[in-house]
Amino acid sequence: MTATPDRGRIAKQARVRNLGFALAVSVALMLVAAACNNDGGNWGDARFTAEMRNLEGEPIGSVVMQQGSGGFLVTVMLEGIEPGPHGIHIHSVGTCTPDFKASGGHINVDNRQHGLLNPAGPDNGDLPNIYAAADGTVQAELFTTLVDPDLLMDDDGSAIVIHENRDDHNAQPIGGSGGRIACGVLN
């Protein structure tokens, strides 16, 4: 005799499969709930944008900082940047006028040295370098755990500054990254 499953058995298998699916869905929902209730700390949905301008005052794109469960995703979209690597940091004062130096030094609440690769660093404003393509555009996503919304939006705010050269992530005070070529206030 061939083993043909009867209708009852097929229906039972279907019920078992549905139960498995339901369990998988509820486990997934619990994981989402756990991620949203990260008691470890600083989960939030803060979002800040800096409209970037060059030394001529022309708009050249934006930097968006979006908070996740463990830090800020930093999305950089620029044009008109000299091709190659450039340091980018979060400076401690939210102004770019009368010139970009008005944005002060890096956010640095614990008085640490500059540099993601510096044993005595990093400061809170440190970020990985960005790289401009041959056509002068930058499309980058960075991530930082070194700041929180209160630091970014303290009494005098903060600003994103892009530098002329590569940040070596070690030398003081700014990793040899040179002059300031673009600036935007975080809002």
Q: Indicate whether 114 belongs to the interface with Cu ion (CB under 5 A).
A: no
Least separation in angstroms between residue 163's CB and Cu ion is: 6
Secondary structure of 105-162 as H, E, C letters: CECCCCCCCCCCCCCCCCCCCCCCCEEECCCCCEEEEEEECCCCHHHHCCCCCCEEEE
* Cα atoms found within 13 Å of the Cα of residue 8, Cβ hemisphere only: 0
Query: What backbone torsions phi and psi does residue 15 show, to the nearest 5 degrees?
Result: -65, -40
Contact string (CB under 5 A) for Cu ion, positions 157-176, x = contact: ----x---------------
Count the site residues for Cu ion by CB under 5 A: 2
With contact defined as beta carbons under 8 Å apart, do 126 and 108 qualify? no
Q: Which stretch binds Cu ion (CB under 5 A): 77-85, 110-118, 128-136, 156-164?
A: 156-164
Question: Which is closer to Cu ion, CB of 61 or CB of 93?
Answer: 93
Nearer to Cu ion, 10 or 55 (CB): 55
14 vs 99, beta carbon nearer Cu ion: 99
Instruction: Write down the least CB distance from residue 114 to Cu ion, Å.
Output: 8
Q: How far is the CB of 87 from Cu ion (least distance, A)?
A: 6
Please identify, using beta-carbon distances, which residue of 116 and 161 lies nearer to Cu ion.
161
Task: Extract the tokens encoding 135.
Answer: 């056509």
DSSP-derived secondary structure letter, 98: S
Site string for Cu ion, 6-45 (x = CB under 5 A): ----------------------------------------
Residue nearest to Cu ion (CB): 89
Nearer to Cu ion among residue 89 and residue 169 (C-beta): 89
Q: Which residues contact 61 (CB under 8 A, 6 or more apart)?
A: 52, 76, 77, 78, 79, 138
> By CB under 5 A, is residue 89 in contact with Cu ion?
yes
Which of 90, 59, 60, 53 has the alpha carbon at shortest distance from 74? 90
For residue 70, what are the contacts with CB-CB under 8 A and spacing of at least 6?
38, 42, 145
Interface positions with Cu ion (CB under 5 A):
89, 161
